Structure 1
């Protein structure tokens, strides 16, 4: 299973001094049960804010490319929250659910203007004697009107692809094309919400591989520049079907997908984080199950795509990999009451920040 993690782009700063504290510490933002967003000081681990959400449990966090606004969504009341990225002030928040309508979606992406929010969702309507579950649909949420203004049902072909309404969504830089990442990349015209192309990532330009896939538990993407998405994929050769993992790159402008094999598959691969200078990448691999489960950090040189270092760390049953704004620290968090810090250079444990609340798997933002 491959887990793709949230995107991030931050300025490079010097490596931390003793103790692993970032030289230019920022602020972490993450969701907590049952209905709050926490901001945490990177340098000290102190809780700076506990931001109450009217819509309940946060399940996704996304910052706009210009770093000006934060968009969050919740699962309790299917709400959308828009915040100012600097002041953390809530600009607007609203629930989509009504007594007779229920929506289920897992994040989305705002358009360049911030007026519209694009996602995929399921709608359930209350009838006289039952609830009727609709089909998976592309949807446009109007932030000003605080409601879903347009939907288009997926065709049976697209609906059958793995990922469902939880599939990650991205927009092209010009805001005219939506990409939905399932077994295939659905290319959707935002004006009509019609699929205009389907890119089969199982057949990359590189020869010798088949069944290239995102895997399960997809959460987001790393972005190396404004146009290119990077993530970890699994694949197999077409002869003996030996499974491997590798790095996949998707260009939002040219719609080109490429895949580079990096090594044999383990029991699980979770997360991809790339340093702000783009030179080094990190992931977490899992070997074995339950009682004999082992977790390791793997460190890569992104230029050669070679494994340069690895180190075992204490496993959790569920977790997410994160990185500090300057790339000096790695974070293990999610489905727990704390954040564990590891030195990104040595891969050694350094300290634990106590949150005093159960963190969700909504992702983590590193704010300046």
Structure 2
């Protein structure tokens, strides 16, 4: 009877947290050991599991038209392409060979869908040792399934390693790498042509997932809107604010909001573009405080905040209609919060441990 009672409580919580069918979208999450979990937001449950032949997913990225999802895997350095409408894998391959391996955490497709840009390292197996390259930009031909072009990062940019989210301009001519500074790269020769002195905030747990779904380019094509940090050159105090980057003209504006907390996630934007949400973490392990922060993007002002239960490692997302906020990762559940009240509504129990690949919402 106790087991039945607990089960009914869990079902009631999931039902309360689910969206109505008219409002709901489809959520896609990566799962251990090699799955993509397709979740109906209306039901709060998995409707399909897609097996990935190349291994554990570590990043996901939607094409600009929302028709294809690109997943990268760490097990064999693979790239898999999912048709969003049919939920079928239409392209799947590994870059690794017996003599050469690659390491990268994500990438971005070009507007034609032919090429895929990544930032990573190449590892060559020699007779007596493995030789690891310096961090480099790479272009993968999705038809020939090979790396067709590479270029090492400039010496001053290599200290940050092969990490950072990537974005492409709509015309495919400019690549942006979000690291300790924003690198502006010419895709014709993969040479860095400019730097912006802004950095992405550190994300609780893992930073890479904040670019998984192209967050920030949902409302205005050709623009990227997110939270960034800047640091003064004298006493090195960090300030966070909202930055708007035009991916075609390379122009950006930055509006400071306040002192940076210990950790700050990326920005989730409501469908109407009026409100932005982030997660802030303060304090040390054992006494951490985790909060939702809500912003008015019209005035770039903080509106309110609300504390929620911390996890040792977690990620942050938003429903397709902007009415729900999600906390997930390092476990089998997705915690659901109301975006207006910032209060908890329930949790969805899944079938696989959630990976660091981020969250993608489709219709």
Match of 1:6 in 2: none
Write the deviation string for residues 245-302 of structure 1: whole angstroms up to 9, x where unpaired.
2112211111112211112222221231110110011111112112211111111111
What SS class does the counterpart of residue 266 from structure 2 fall into?
strand
Instruction: Evaluate the alpha carbon distance shift between residue 137 and residue 305 of structure 1 in structure 2; reply closer, same or farther with a 3 A threshold.
Output: same
1:261 counterpart = 2:266: no
Write the deviation string for residues 226-245 of structure 1: whole angstroms up to 9, x where unpaired.
11111212234456654322
Write the deviation string for residues 99-148 of structure 1: whole angstroms up to 9, x where unpaired.
11110011111111111111112000111111111121111111111111
Write the deviation string for residues 124-178 of structure 1: whole angstroms up to 9, x where unpaired.
0111111111121111111111111111222323323x2x322111111111221
Match of 2:129 in 1: 130
Question: Equivalent of 1:21, from 10, 19, 22?
Answer: 19
Give the superposition deviation at 1:87.
Answer: 1.1
CA distance in 2 between counterparts of 1:367 and 1:149 reads 31
Please say which of residues 131-140 and 183-192 is displaced more in the overlay.
183-192
CA distance in 1 between counterparts of 2:17 and 2:109 reads 38
Match of 1:222 in 2: 216
Question: Equivalent of 2:278, from 283, 303, 307?
Answer: 283
Structure of greater relative contact order (alpha carbons < 8 Å, 6+ residues apart): 1
Match of 1:95 in 2: 94
CA distance in 2 between counterparts of 1:249 and 1:278 reads 13
Question: Segments of 4+ in structure 1 off by > 6 A?
Answer: none
Is 2:18–2:43's contact at 8 Å kept on the other side of the alignment?
no
Match of 1:346 in 2: 341
Map residues 225-244 of structure 1 onto 2, 5 A cutoff.
225-237=220-232, 241-244=236-239
1:156 counterpart = 2:142: no
Is 2:40–2:47's contact at 8 Å kept on the other side of the alignment?
yes
Query: Any stretches of 5+ residues in structure 2 without a counterpart?
Result: 1-14
Instruction: Evaluate the alpha carbon distance shift between residue 128 and residue 241 of structure 1 in structure 2; reply closer, same or farther with a 3 A threshold.
Output: closer
Query: Any stretches of 5+ residues in structure 1 without a counterpart?
Result: 1-16, 202-211
Match of 2:188 in 1: 191
Question: Equivalent of 2:313, from 309, 318, 321?
Answer: 318
Is 2:201–2:266's contact at 8 Å kept on the other side of the alignment?
no
TM-score, normalised with respect to structure 1: 0.88
What SS class does the counterpart of residue 158 from structure 1 fall into?
helix
TM-score, normalised with respect to structure 2: 0.89
1:274 counterpart = 2:269: yes
CA distance in 2 between counterparts of 1:37 and 1:124 reads 27
Question: Equivalent of 1:365, from 350, 360, 363?
Answer: 360
Is 2:57–2:74's contact at 8 Å kept on the other side of the alignment?
yes
Please say which of residues 272-281 and 165-174 is displaced more in the overlay.
165-174
Write the deviation string for residues 14-71 of structure 1: whole angstroms up to 9, x where unpaired.
xxx9756254211100101111100011011111111111111101100111111110
Question: Equivalent of 1:296, from 291, 294, 303?
Answer: 291
Write the deviation string for residues 185-232 of structure 1: whole angstroms up to 9, x where unpaired.
32222222222x12232xxxxxxxxxx432442432422411111121
Please say which of residues 179-188 and 141-150 is displaced more in the overlay.
179-188
Instruction: Evaluate the alpha carbon distance shift between residue 222 and residue 349 of structure 1 in structure 2; reply closer, same or farther with a 3 A threshold.
Output: same
Match of 1:171 in 2: 168
1:200 counterpart = 2:196: yes
Give the superposition deviation at 1:339.
Answer: 0.2
CA distance in 2 between counterparts of 1:265 and 1:166 reads 21
Is 1:31–1:361's contact at 8 Å kept on the other side of the alignment?
yes
Match of 2:199 in 1: 213
Is 1:229–1:249's contact at 8 Å kept on the other side of the alignment?
yes
